[in-house]
Every structure is written in structure tokens, then in C-alpha cells.
Amino acid sequence: MAKKAVILVLDSFGIGYAPDADKFGDVGANTFASIARVFQQKKGRQLALPNLASLGLVKAARAASGGKQADVTDAENVVGAYGYAKELSSGKDTPSGHWEIAGVPVLFDWGYFSDKTDSFPTELISELCQRTGVPGILGNCHASGTDILVKLGDEHVRTGMPICYTSADSVFQVAAHEEHFGLQRLLDFCLVARELLDKYNIGRVIARPFTGDSPANYARTGNRRDYSVLPPAPTVLDKLTLAGGTVVSIGKIADIYAHQGISQSLKATGLEALVDTTLTQMQKQSDNSIVFTNLVDFDQNFGHRRDPIGYGEALEYFDQRLPELMAACDADTLLLLTADHGCDPTWHGTEHTREYIPVLAYKPGMQAADLGERQSFADIGQTLADYFGLDAMAYGDSFKNKIN
């Protein structure tokens, strides 16, 4: 028996506002339902996700939807286990979501820069400038990462000052031109920032390199890097690798887990390359392995950009590739599809939304099963610990007995 698991995180694919959404101002948000609604309105046809539906997505979404369900056709035949999970972690950010998926919820509060302008403390900026030798910084505010390039890209190129911005997340983001400022210089700058930001309890420093020669064509590249603090406890990835297993990261995963519990890290840019690399690794890996992929495009290119049509088209593309992923599963490969938070592209602002995430599990030949409402994303990590015969995680209920 060659036990393998494949996890794909559809970054930001929420399926209905969470019971505690009121604390986040997100009551009514529903990433999936909003995309389906706008798709129908603007394209005059239904969003078509037959393969995700065959894993139980539509049933899970209906159960999670708080009366605002996605108008998407259900499958006649469901072949997977499906449920929806709420989040224990205090934040609706990417690391919290991912760490909780791996069995480690974030129960403490991150530090945030909550002032919309002049967001960063003066002493932080002066030390950063002094240590890195830059003449100053631009931005120093809450911003959308693409808008701020239009606004400040030229000034950055002219002055050599990096663009530093934040959001409602616990992040310090730095945009700089790959050629004018230099990619390596940007990464070095971010490493110094990472050191200085520990005392502010900031979850991530994110390097946002871009190219182009005018505001009309400044574009972020695939060389994004996230510098995360360590997860607060060993995740199921740590446990599996310590026990001699293998965890292959594809895309942002390794960065999100601060490279803890990762055996090998592969980069790929764009949905197509991410799915291709996942398929290649599924064929390569053997017993006691996890292939773990983050599909960042949903969040970065469509959710935050408030582009429901783009999001819907990307979902349809992924849905078309799903049969390949299912066919690549051996008898003992467990395929898991989930998300790390919501990012309703019709919601106000440009931030994430506090939502239920889908929990879809598939193994060839299994009986369909309703996993119902899961009390934590950590049920996924606990199921993986159970599946690989590892010590139980401190959080989460295993649903392994439903995947037979």
C-alpha cells in the first residue's frame, strides 16, 4: 500500500459566510455564490463546474451558504466526500488558514498596521532605511498591490525608494522594480524587514517584484516571495517528514509554512503550470508522501482584484483539469481540495472574507459521503495524521472513516 495524499488549496475559494463573520464585517459574503451570480448575469449562462460538483462541491456549498446559495448545477452522481469547515483561527489570512488546514490553528492575534495612511511606525522605517541604505520608502499606507504600482511605480523607478504597503492582513509588502531596483536587492530588503518586524508580531513580509516601463504596463512577476514567521506548533507536514515521509510543495506552500516540514519545493506560475507540476509530482512520489499545491491565482488575480468573471473562468479551467488529477490517483491516493479563507470578488474593499471553506475528499472507488459542517479546518490535518498513521494532532476530528 503506497499511501499518498494530494492537497490542492484553491486560495480564497470560500463557500458561504462563517458563523463569526459579523466580527469581520463579512455577513453576507459568499465567494462561490457571488461568482456564480455575476457569471450568469454577465455571460448569460451558468458557471459550469461538473467535475467539482461530482466531488460534492455544490452539495457542500448549499449546506454552507446561509441562504445565498450558488446557482450551479449539481452532479447526478457524487463520487467523493464533501463538507464545509469553519475556522478556529482568529484571522482570515493565508498563513492562519493553511496552518489550520495542517492541524495548527492560530489562536493568538497577529500584529496589524491598522492606520490606513502613515501605517508604519517612524522608528521602524528609519531603522529599515538605515540598515538597507535606501533613501526612504514610498507608500506607507493600506493599498491594493496593483493600484499602488499605477500610482507610485514611476516615482519608485525615479527615486529608488521601495513601495511599502499593508492591508487588513498582518503583512508588510514591498513592491520594487525587478531591473531598476533589482530582484535580489528587493529580497535582501525584505529579509531585513522580516528581522525588524518580528517584534511587531507581523505574520508575513511579502516581496512584490514587478516589471514594465510605465503605469500602463507595470505588472507583478512570478518572483513573489513570502517571508513568514514559523507556525506556532509542529504541523502534520512536520510530523510526516520527521517520520521519514516526503512533502512536496508546489507554488507558495513552502513559503507559507516558513519551509518547515517541506522536503522539496517547486515553483510554478499560473494555474496551468501549477496543475501540470502537481500531476508530474503525483506520478513521481511514492509511499508516505504529500503533494501540496497552492493555487494562488484565484486569490491574487481575481479575488483581491474583485474580478468575478475572471475568477469564474479560472474555476472552469480548474474544473476541466480535475479529471486528470482524479485519474492520477492510485488506489491509495487521497485527493483533498479545499481553501484557506474567502475573498468574495463582489464584496466591498479588496480584502479576504470570513467564510466556510469546502472540504472535498476523493479516493478511487470510495463511497460518496456527507462530511457535514466541520468545526475546524484542522479536521483536514487530523485526517491526514490518521491516514498516515502519525500521532494525533492537538486539534481537529478525523473523517478518515468516511473515505473508504
Ligand X SMILES: O=P(O)(O)O[C@H]1O[C@H](CO)[C@@H](O)[C@H]1O
> Closer CB to ligand X, residue 241 or residue 350?
350
If contact means CB under 5 to 8 A according to the sort of partner, which of Mn ion, ligand X, none does residue 171 touch? ligand X
* Count of CA atoms in the C-beta half-sphere (13 A) of 310: 15
Stretch that binds Mn ion, among 141-149, 234-242, 271-279, 339-347 (CB under 5 A): 339-347
Smallest gap from Cβ 349 to ligand X, in A, equals 10
Which of the choices Mn ion, ligand X, none does residue 170 contact, using the CB cut-off of 5 to 8 A by kind? none
Residue 11 binding target from Mn ion, ligand X, none, CB below 5 to 8 Å by type:
Mn ion
Residues that bind ligand X (CB under 6 A): 94, 144-145, 167, 169, 171, 173, 206, 208, 300, 304
Query: Three-state DSSP class for 314?
Result: helix
* Residue number of the CB atom closest to ligand X: 145
299 binds Mn ion (CB under 5 A): yes
**Which residue's entry shows cell 514611476?**
154
Closest separation between CB of residue 144 and Mn ion, Å?
11
Q: Which of 100, 226, 255, 340 binds Mn ion (CB under 5 A)?
A: 340
The residue among 43 and 259 lying less far from ligand X, judged by its C-beta, is: 259
294 interacts with Mn ion by CB under 5 A: no
Q: Which is nearer to ligand X, 30 or 350 (CB)?
A: 350
Torsion, Cα 205 206 212 218, to 10 degrees, reads -100
Name the helix (H) or strand (E) containing 281.
Answer: helix 271-284
Report in angstroms how near the CB of residue 95 gets to Mn ion at its nearest: 9
The answer to whether 169 and 93 have CB atoms below 8 angstroms apart is: yes
φ and ψ at 35, to 5 degrees? -60, -45
297's contact among Mn ion, ligand X, none, with CB below 5 to 8 A by partner kind, is none
Could you tell me where the beta strands, DSSP code E, fall in 279-339? 289-295, 333-338
- Distance in Å, CB of 314 to ligand X, minimum: 15
Site string for Mn ion, 71-100 (x = CB under 5 A): -----------------------x------
- Is 98 marked as binding a ligand? no
Q: Cell numbers for 391, please give them.
A: 500521532
348 is annotated as contributing to ligand binding: no
Task: Mention every residue, 6+ apart, whose C-beta is less than 8 A from residue 319.
Answer: 48, 49, 50, 51, 52
User: H/E/C letters for each residue in 29-51?
Assistant: CCHHHHHHHHHHHHHCCCCCCHH
State the nearest-atom distance from the C-beta of 212 to Mn ion, in Å: 22
Cβ distance to Mn ion smaller for residue 305 or 363:
305
Nearest distance in Å: CB 55, ligand X: 26
Strands 163-166 and 171-177: antiparallel
* Nearest distance, CB of residue 12 and ligand X, angstroms: 9
Question: What distance in Å separates the CA atoms of residue 289 and residue 278, rounded to the nearest whole number?
Answer: 13
Distance CA 147, CA 166 (A): 13
Q: Is 278 an interacting residue with respect to Mn ion (CB under 5 A)?
A: no
- Is 156 annotated to bind a ligand? Reply is no
In the complex, minimum distance from the CB of residue 303 to Mn ion, in angstroms, rounded to a whole number: 6
As beta bridge partners, residue 246 has: 289
Residues whose CB is less than 8 angstroms from the CB of residue 144 and which lie 6 or more positions away in sequence, other chains included = 304, 305, 350
* Residue 93 assigned to a binding site: no
Distance between alpha carbon 5 and the CA centroid of its chain, in Å?
18
Q: Distance between CA atoms of 362 and 354, rounded to whole angstroms?
A: 26
Alpha-carbon distance values, 120 to 130, 190, 193, 206, 288 (Å) = 15, 15, 12, 15, 44
Binder among 8, 10, 11, 396 for Mn ion (CB under 5 A): 11
Binder of residue 161, out of Mn ion, ligand X, none (CB less than 5 to 8 A by kind): none
Residues of this chain that interact with Mn ion (CB under 5 A) are: 11, 94, 299, 340
Binding residues for Mn(2+), as ranges, are 11, 299, 304, 340-341, 352
Show binding-site residues.
Answer: 11, 299, 304, 340-341, 352
